[in-house]
Amino acid sequence: MKRPLRNGLRYALSGLVGAGALSGVLYFVGWRQTISHVHSLGAGGIIAVLGSVALAMAAWIVCWWIILLTYGIHLPIRKIVGARLSGYAISYITPSLYFGGEPVRAFMVADRELAPATRVFATVIVERFLGGLSMIVFILVGGFQAIISPAIPLSEKRLLMAGIGFITFWIIVGLLNFAWNLKWISRGLNGIGRIIRRWGDPLARAAAKVAETEDEVHLAFTRYRRGTLAAFAVQTLATFFVYVRPAVFFHFSSGISLTFPQLSLLFTLNILLSSFLWITPGGLGTGEAGMIGIFRLVAPSIPVQGVVAYSLMFKGAESILVVAGIVYLAQRGLSYLRGGKETEC
């Protein structure tokens, strides 16, 4: 079986699994009650949900735009928006959150006349890395309050500390690697090539390109520090809009006010959940099941129907961006097929 067909079948199967899992969740929690929680949002709540998703995406786009400008890459803002939406769409619908769409958006804006491909890839890596740092800021600030709060049970505190430690460890590893230009990734590839001789030449070539990209990323922490700090500020704003999503939804739907420690626990556990359970397009079905468990642990007063409504409402809002990204990607593909060369959309 050819690889494209095999991948297509795999994605179709994951989609069916997600639809089945979601159907099971709705059956057990009650789909009518779930819909009633969505209706209880009202017009103001729906606008707030859509606004928080749109503002987060706008901040992500501005962050990447700042990094591109910092690296001397000047592109039309429409092209940046389209590439960012396309990358987001691919990452969202493939069964692996946080990965998949990043190389695509880099390829979509790469232009040899403007900058080497390694430099463009470096801007994507820096943008994603700043996203990780901004997540750590919210996790640590809120997590500290949760740990010292007498209202949080010891079992939840241990779970929070484990989640914080896991995420922080990998962020620190990346920070040390890029800030000090240790080149652990390219060195690792060369090391594997020396162990597995038949892969030696291909891995050596790949390591050389990776080393160039690592050099470019290193500049973000040295020569381009001001631009990196500005981008980090915008990235932190984007993370804030994601962080407050539960507060926005349940304020309008149920009049429930979530505390800062609760938001931090929900944010941290949701990140960990998405890393391991995003095995269907958009985390469909699996995400809702896991979200129920998280809310039962952190905010047991919220009914399970409200939790599922919360998850589906934000996925519906995100789907608008996914569709926009797919449409842009299709337009670029059609333009390339018609003209034999990508046209600026």
Tell me how far apart the alpha carbons of residues 101 and 110 are, in angstroms, rounded to a whole number: 14
| pLDDT for the residue 77 | 92
Q: What values do phi and psi take at 115, rounded to 5? A: -165, 155
Please say whether the beta carbons of 28 and 290 come within 8 A.
no
- Residue type at 28 in one-letter notation: F
Token duo for residue 166 = 């896991």
pTM value is: 0.86
Lowest mean pLDDT segment, chosen from 3-17, 43-57, 75-89, 210-224: 3-17
Q: Which residue has the higher pLDDT, 54 or 17?
A: 54
Please write the tens of the pLDDT for every residue from 64-112. 999 999 999 999 999 999 999 999 998 888 765 455 678 888 888 887 6
Cα dihedral value 74, 76, 79, 84, nearest 10: 60
Radius of gyration in angstroms for the set of CA atoms belonging to the chain, rounded to a whole number:
21
Domain ranges for the chain: 43-181+217-339
Distance (Å) of CA 254 to CA 4, 37, 247, 249, 310: 46, 8, 10, 8, 11
Start-to-end CA distance of the chain, whole Å, equals 35
Report the pLDDT value the prediction gives residue 273, as an integer from 0 to 100: 76
- Which has the closest alpha carbon to 261: 148, 92, 128, 120? 148
- Tell me the pLDDT of the chain averaged across its residues: 84
In the predicted structure, residue 54 carries a pLDDT above the cut 80: yes
Give the whole-number percent of the chain exceeding pLDDT 70.
86
What's the CA gap between 123 and 144, in Å, rounded? 32
- pLDDT digits over 281-326, tens only? 666 767 777 888 889 888 889 999 999 999 999 999 999 999 999 9
Measured from the Cβ of residue 342, the count of other Cβ atoms closer than 10 Å reads: 14
pLDDT of residue 342: 46
**Cα–Cα distance between 243 and 234 in angstroms, integer?**
14
